[in-house]
Amino acid sequence: MTAALSASLFLPSSNSTSLSIKTIFISPENITFNKVPLCNRNVSVGGKVFPTRAQLTTEVPAKVAKVSKKQDEGVVVNKFRPKDPYIGRCLLNTKITGDDAPGETWHMVFSTEGEIPYREGQSIGVIPDGVDSNGKPHKLRLYSIASSALGDFGDSKTVSLCVKRLVYTNDKGEIVKGVCSNFLCDLKPGAEVKITGPVGKEMLMPKDPNATVIMLATETGIAPFRGFLWKMFFEKHEDYKFNGLAWLFLGVPTSSSLIYKEEFEKMKEKAPENFRLDFAVSREQTNEKGEKMYIQTRMAEYTEELWTLLKKDNTFVYMCGLKGMEQGIDDIMTSLAERDGISWADYKKQLKKAEQWNVEVY
């Protein structure tokens, strides 16, 4: 902290024996204070003593703004809100899970005409048509965007989602259908859809093109990572060329639930040194102990390698999907950290603060 001294001194005038008032700035090393009341002090300058009124002012250094490690420059949020949503149109809607999969997942593309300037990792809101049981318009539901900023057609004029149709039986034995998921999965090309957003900065990609990016997803939690990977391996950008390591762990119940599998395998063929791909199919695969292959079970096969990567300051972990996956992954990390005498809870806080541990679960 620096201190600036401003003093009003009573100095002899050259034309009079009276005292004139002059304001001067004195370097601290050339002055000494006599112990007199705080409001009036005597200052000795060059051996001469003058009465002065001195005021010390302290200048607090300007707070240094935190520089994000993510691609957050110019990120737009909440351009469109529920009271004034953007009206897009469905251009494509197709089921991407097999007929024997436990549940349907659909991939859909909406027109935006470039009016929704989203980034990879952001989300949009969708307001389904109709009204609720109280006769009020349905509230919006948020969905992670499943396309890169350029969109599936490469013209920055579309946005894509992958949505699982929600259908379940309640305690009364009644079949209940999720309002928004069924609205979206039933959309026909040409139909209008009310869109809000974009929102979110938690899941933005790292700036460093040489980073290690570890992506942990279950089912439709793959959405943001499809956007990441398209930008990394399918697109060309003047200001970005990925040279690091992208490692995707995708957990699903059955092989017929493996969405975008062909896309990811093409990426692996194209960049085998930069992309690693691991699936965890819980109802069809087991580990050596005969345990079901959940995402954390698959990760356990690479514990030492993952822990080594996590100790580097250019490794970024992103987790998206069902909330239940988080505890299983924490359990693995806890055991790894304990080997080095480290508290995983504390270390995870450090990673979060450094933007290296990013979670979006539901």
Residues labelled catalytic:
143-144, 320, 360, 362
Cis check for the bond before 128: say yes or no (omega within 30 of 0): no
d(CA 242, CA 231): 8
Question: Does 253 appear as a known binding residue?
Answer: yes
Q: Are strands 275-281 and 245-252 parallel, antiparallel or unpaired?
A: parallel
Tokens of 287: 């580990």
Would you call 40 exposed, middle or buried from its count of C-beta atoms within 10 A (0-12, 13-18, 19+)? exposed
Question: Does 151 appear as a known binding residue?
Answer: no
Tokens of 10: 């009573």
Residue type, 242: F
d(CA 319, CA 216): 5
Question: Does 360 appear as a known binding residue?
Answer: yes
Question: Does 322 appear as a known binding residue?
Answer: yes
Question: Does 227 appear as a known binding residue?
Answer: no
The residues that bridge with 320 in the sheet, in sequence order, are 217, 360
Question: Does 144 appear as a known binding residue?
Answer: yes
Question: Does 252 appear as a known binding residue?
Answer: yes
d(CA 281, CA 49): 87
Instruction: Count CA within 13 A, CB hemisphere, residue 335.
Output: 11
d(CA 89, CA 191): 6
Does residue 191 contact residue 293 with C-beta atoms inside 8 Å? no
- In 3D space, the residue among 180, 144, 179, 142 whose CA is nearest the CA of residue 159 turns out to be 144
Would you call 313 exposed, middle or buried from its count of C-beta atoms within 10 A (0-12, 13-18, 19+)? exposed
Cite the annotated binding site by residue number: 144, 164, 220, 252-253, 282-283, 292, 321-322, 360
Name the binding residues for NADP(+). Answer: 144, 164, 220, 252-253, 282-283, 292, 321-322, 360
